[in-house]
Structure 1
Amino acid sequence: MKLSFIIIDDRELDCYIAEKIIQKTGLSTDNKIFYDAFSGLNFIKNTPVTDSIIIVLLDIMMPVMNGFQFMEAFEKLPEEIKNNYRIVAITTSLNKNDISEISSYKSVIGVLKKPYPSEALVKVLQIITGDLGQ
């Protein structure tokens, strides 16, 4: 199963690394990168609903709009939009409260701590594809 990805991270190097890890999995058909959560959210809001699942790698610590604010806005979107996305939070935070809070959002299906090895992302993707019956 091939998947599309959206990477939302304010650090260019982290986006580059994430894209390389995604490519290494061999599961990617399309990657979009946003250096701020607001732009990523607007893209999601304005993208027509399809039958495909899009994986969002979301950094939780960003300026302007952080991952928590992104999730608050994302959770308010119509179900037909939210159903197209699976969100994996990514963070350097060691704060258990941050990890617990981001994990509490219904749309967040996993949390990866940076730097994450490709095997960790593959495990999350296997959960997603298994849930989709693939």
Structure 2
Amino acid sequence: MKLNFIIVDDRELDCFIAEKLILNTGKCNSFKAYDNAIEALQDIKAIEPEKGSLTVLLLDIMMPVMNGFQFIEEFENLPKETKNNYRIISITTSLNKNDISRISTYESVFGVLKKPYSFEAFEEMINNISQES
């Protein structure tokens, strides 16, 4: 199954690295990067997802303006039909165990990857998402 990918990360280098990892999975249907969570959320609310499509959203936890926690709290208020089209993977440099366990409690979060994450760890998570759908 081909997946759509969105990365939300305020660091351009992290977006570039994620794009390379995504393309190397061979499972990428489309890719879009956002350097700000508000813009990403606005697009998610405005764009009707393709029927039967699944979008993997890589979400940085620590960002200015709207952080990953605030994004997920807003995302979880979206209609169930919208949320069902997304699988969120939180990405973080944080070593704070509270941040990691807190982000994991959200229903919308499929998993957490600590930066820098390896291709193998990323690919395993993508394969798990592919198998569930």
TM over 0.5: yes
**SS of alignment partner, residue 69 of structure 2:** helix
For 2:106, the equivalent position in structure 1 comes to 105
Please state how far the C-alpha of 1:131 moved relative to its aligned partner.
Answer: 0.8
Please tell me the root mean square deviation across aligned C-alpha atoms, in Å. Answer: 0.6
**SS of alignment partner, residue 122 of structure 1:** helix
Unaligned runs of 5+ in 1: none
TM-score normalized by the length of structure 2: 0.97
For 2:120, the equivalent position in structure 1 comes to 119
For 2:66, the equivalent position in structure 1 comes to 65
For 1:25, the equivalent position in structure 2 comes to 25
* Further displaced range: 49-58 or 72-81: 49-58
Unaligned runs of 5+ in 2: none
User: Which residues of 2 match residues 1-134 of structure 1 at below 5 A?
Assistant: 1-50=1-50, 51-132=52-133
Please state how far the C-alpha of 1:31 moved relative to its aligned partner.
Answer: 0.3
Counterpart CA distance in 1 for 2:127 and 2:28 is 13
Please state how far the C-alpha of 1:49 moved relative to its aligned partner.
Answer: 3.0
TM-score normalized by the length of structure 1: 0.97
Residue identity opposite 1:11 in structure 2:
R
Counterpart CA distance in 2 for 1:41 and 1:118 is 26
